[in-house]
Amino acid sequence: MGSKSKQLRSGYTTGACAAAAAKAATLLLVRSAECGVRSNVRIESVTIPFPDGSRIQFGVLSAECGIDNGVQFARASVIKDAGDDPDITNGAEIVAEVRSAVCGEQSGDAAIINVKGGRGVGTVTKPGLAIPVGEAAINPVPRKMILAAVQEAVSECKTDIPHSALRTSHLEITISVPQGEELAKKTLNHRLGIIGGISILGTTGIVKPLSEAAWTATITASFDVAKAQGIGEVVVSTGRTSEKAHQKKYAFPAEAYAMMGDFAEFSLADAKKHGFRKVHLCAQWAKMVKIAMGTPETHVRHGALEAQAARDYLVSLGMDLPKDREFNTTREIFDLVNTTAHDPRSSIGLVCKAAKRYCETVTGGVPVSIHLVSYEGEIIAESR
């Protein structure tokens, strides 16, 4: 009998794919200049360096060259393979266009390489991120990977074609994502002040399946933006329904809200690290019970919440629940309390108080306000 668990496959970041496309386009540009624009120069794959010193080969989807207003250019693209990670950019085409623009004298053997964003790559409009306002949302590590890959291509071409007809003293690299604007609508980029497309991301070049890296990076980026905006209190929520409930009742500035997903402990600790004076935490019943019980990560893959264990815990808080009744889900407990308890709000409030106690141990005393959201999307209990 085979194993019940499948080995999940890693993939590559948008930054790594952009670097591979940029190297392919650079190789094509130099080789086509040597052999003639109309020659049949083909680039089917490239190998690029990764931050950890490894080298990975990428297949090239398309590659073409031409002349635009007297300037020669080359364009190449790579399809992003995120492995088994549920990444919204999986399968997206990442395109790099390279142009040669002679700009003064070349310094030594190093080419001057400028990297910018094109169609489908967002522009930063709010301070607090790793990229300055007004620049393309191509993060620092992807930029370094692109520069390293292009410089490597230039060096390879100097070896293969020592007297190339093309000057490589100044190269302009434009990264674009044809589907970027549509894909960005499925991200939190708008909240971070990144408009017009997706971000080119990655710190290692590798996407690990179901890793927490994407979530935690977004949480930290949200806090960075809030801090830069001078916001002193932030709101973290386990989901959009919980977040909307708080927005409806309290209407904090948009930059104050961060989607923490299942990473409660990380979010609380990171909020403390950022120096916010108060944290508001919003969640629905099952997640809130897990938080009250001191569960660092509330996703089911880190352990399903057994209804009986939840019942025993709630009884220990002082909630009046029948000990001889078997519960299938924590939702069933919630429904029973709401329909039979003498004072449902008071009973449910016990969970909010317990969640507050746990959260403030993580924040080291930074006040945490708890907001329990009903399945209908309304705040029904709080511990402020």
Average pLDDT on 166-183 reads 88
Q: Alpha-carbon distance 338 to 252, whole Å? A: 29
Residue 165 pLDDT level (bands cut at 50, 70, 90): very low
Q: Tell which residue, 368, 366, 372, 373, has the closest CA to residue 384.
A: 368
* pLDDT tens sequence across 177-226: 999 999 999 888 888 899 999 999 988 998 876 667 778 888 999 999 99
| DSSP structural state of residue 298 | -
pLDDT at residue 171 is higher than 80: yes
Highest mean pLDDT among 35-44, 198-207, 304-313: 198-207
The whole-chain average pLDDT of the chain stands at 87
Percent of the residues in the chain that have a pLDDT greater than 90, as a whole number? 59
Average pLDDT on 358-378 reads 95
Contact yes or no for 11/81 (Cβ under 8 A):
yes
pLDDT at residue 259 is higher than 60: yes
Contact yes or no for 330/314 (Cβ under 8 A):
no
Q: What's the pLDDT at 27?
A: 93
Contact yes or no for 23/145 (Cβ under 8 A):
no
Q: What's the pLDDT at 4?
A: 40
Q: Which residue has the higher pLDDT, 164 or 30?
A: 30
pLDDT at residue 246 is higher than 70: yes
DSSP per-residue letters across 64-121: EEEEETTEEEEEEEEE---TTS--TTTT-EEEEEEEE---S--BTTBPEEEEEE-TEE
Instruction: Give the global pTM.
Output: 0.74
Task: Please give the domain boundaries of the chain with CATH numbers for all domains.
Answer: 11-207 (3.30.2110.10), 213-383 (no CATH)
Q: What's the pLDDT at 258?
A: 96
Residue 31 pLDDT level (bands cut at 50, 70, 90): confident
pLDDT at residue 110 is higher than 90: no
Average pLDDT on 325-338 reads 85
Burial of 20 per CB tally in 10 Å (0-12, 13-18, 19+): buried
Q: What's the pLDDT at 109?
A: 52
Q: What's the pLDDT at 329?
A: 80
Percent of the residues in the chain that have a pLDDT greater than 70, as a whole number? 87
Query: How far apart are the two ends of the chain, measured CA to CA in Å?
Result: 54
Q: What's the pLDDT at 362?
A: 97
Contacts of residue 261, Cβ cutoff 8 Å, sequence gap at least 6 = 215, 238, 239, 299
Q: What's the pLDDT at 361?
A: 96
Q: What's the pLDDT at 3?
A: 39
pLDDT at residue 103 is higher than 70: no
Q: Alpha-carbon distance 315 to 323, whole Å? A: 9
pLDDT at residue 299 is higher than 70: no
